[in-house]
């Protein structure tokens, strides 16, 4: 199962897709490597599993007969959206420093 698997999921572009704009002057924008995007939809295209993005329009290129084509999913990886909470560790350290003060 692909780790990119739900609508609204944050993904980061890991491939330089902006090169596609040099092939067809009709393509005005493409995902930029290193930027974060939101998954807006899924589709299987001729080049495999693909995604639509909320922030960037899908590919429309009359040169290659593409109309509203999704971006290849292999060009993205999921962003870890877990919130990091270290409060449990700081409590442990606080407990240790208090114990050391009472032992001294």
Q: Could you write out the DSSP letters of every residue in 12-26?
A: EE-S-GGGHHHH-TT
Task: Give how many domains the chain has, as a whole number.
Answer: 1
CA-CA distance, 82 to 102, in Å (whole number)? 37
Is 97 a member of any domain? yes
How sure is the predictor about 100, in pLDDT bands with cuts at 50, 70 and 90?
low
Is 4 a member of any domain? no
Is 1 a member of any domain? no
Show the domain range for 60. Answer: 10-103
Tell me: the pLDDT tens digits for 68-92? Answer: 999 999 999 999 877 777 777 787 7
Is 5 a member of any domain? no
Instruction: Tell me the CA distances in angstroms from 58 to 44, 48, 50, 69, 92, one per residue in order.
Output: 14, 15, 11, 5, 49
CA-CA distance, 96 to 50, in Å (whole number)? 51
Tell me: the pLDDT tens digits for 6-25? Answer: 999 999 999 998 888 788 88
DSSP H/E element including 94: helix 87-103
CA-CA distance, 18 to 103, in Å (whole number)? 62
């Amino acid at each position: 199962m692909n780790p990119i698997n739900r609508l609204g999921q944050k993904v980061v572009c890991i491939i330089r897709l902006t090169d596609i704009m040099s092939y067809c002057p009709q393509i005005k924008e493409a995902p930029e490597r290193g930027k974060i995007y939101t998954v807006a939809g899924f589709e299987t295209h001729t080049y495999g599993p693909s995604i639509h993005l909320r922030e960037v329009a899908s590919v429309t290129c009359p040169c290659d007969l593409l109309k509203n084509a999704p971006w290849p999913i292999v060009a993205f990886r999921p962003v870890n959206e877990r919130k990091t909470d270290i409060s449990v560790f700081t409590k442990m350290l606080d407990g240790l420093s208090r114990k050391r003060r009472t032992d001294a």
